[in-house]
Amino acid sequence: MGLFASIKVMLGVAPQRPAAISPAAAAMHEAKRQTKGTDRARSIRDAHADGHGNRWRNIRWATLIAVNLIFVLSYRFDVQLVEGALTASRVVGFHMADLNSGLQVMLAYKTILINLVIGTGTVLAMWWLFGGRTFCSWVCPYHLLAEIAEKLHLALVARRLVVDYPLHRGTRTVLYVIFAVMALVSGYTVYEAISPTGIVSRALIYGPGLAMIWVLGLLVYEVIFIRRMWCRYICPIGLTYGLVGALSPVRVRYSLENCLHEGDCRKVCLVPHVLECTKKTYAADVMVAIGADCTRCGLCVDACPTGSLKFEVKGLNKLL
């Protein structure tokens, strides 16, 4: 998937089967069609029998907890190495600001502060390097709570106690514009008042307030009605970082050769539309970089039984 097609999908356009497929990929698709059966599948699975287990999930959860714990401990013990919360902080005296929060402040107050420019510039460079939406799955505390809620939701779905009611993915793009316009017109950072990312971060550091009732309500709604509603269909933070990370050197790479197209990766993916290329005949090339909306959570890498999905550092030919 090309860069602009990837961004269009992130904004809400439905993924499409590629119009043009490279000769190498076409030959591989045809070879797979002619060699149906279990022998090839068995040999590929046996070659990757060790797998990843939950390797990347465990590393990610540990990283997320550690990052947020640093904020908590720094405040509790008055270390002052890290001050503030995830939306705006100072690290060893150096300003850092969430990109969406910075945009909201500039629109609301109609001014550009030098500290805000420094803070957002630093964060922009950092998340471009690591891959924009890495923030969502590796740092955001609400994301971890939403993952737990998702597991409960799927357990209830399996028992036919609840039904998922997905929204159109373009809803997030529309709300992104609405939140920006509301900040500009009202002079108030409207989104920041309801952002579960900021609310949970501040609750961990300074103690919970009444705003946590809103967060708990969101989680209950996601368990009963809409799987990962906030992250998939509402949160403008993910959209902002997706745009930043569209050209990131760190990404997940799909290899067509050994893929059995069983769909395990799409079942666990937090944003399954980015893995359309793993469907039969959907890969435009033998190697495909997963799109801009990918959170680099690593769940698909852990789940893939054939090692067809790997983390990659672009330009270094480095696979993880």
pLDDT digits (tens, 9 = 90+) for 254-305: 999 989 898 999 999 989 999 999 999 999 999 999 999 999 999 999 999 9
Residue 152, pLDDT above cutoff 70:
yes
Backbone φ and ψ for 208, nearest 5 degrees, come out as -70, 150
Question: What average pLDDT does the chain have?
Answer: 91
Q: How far is CA 61 from CA 21, 70, 84, 138, in A?
A: 37, 14, 22, 7
pTM summary value: 0.91
Res 142: pLDDT: 97
pLDDT-derived band at 317 (thresholds 50, 70, 90) equals: low
Res 147: pLDDT: 95
What does the chain come to in residues? 320
Amino acid identity of 213?
Answer: I
CB 289 within 8 A of CB 251: yes
Mind listing the pLDDT tens digit for each residue in 183-217?
Answer: 999 999 999 999 999 999 999 999 999 999 999 99
Average pLDDT in the 313-318 region? Answer: 76
Res 19: pLDDT: 84
Rounded distance between C-alpha atoms, residue 160 and residue 158, angstroms: 5
Q: Considering only 12-26, 150-164, 192-206, which range has the smallest mean pLDDT? A: 12-26
Phi-psi region of 71 (alpha: psi -120 to 50; beta: other; left: phi over 0): alpha
Rounded distance between C-alpha atoms, residue 135 and residue 212, angstroms: 21
Res 34: pLDDT: 77
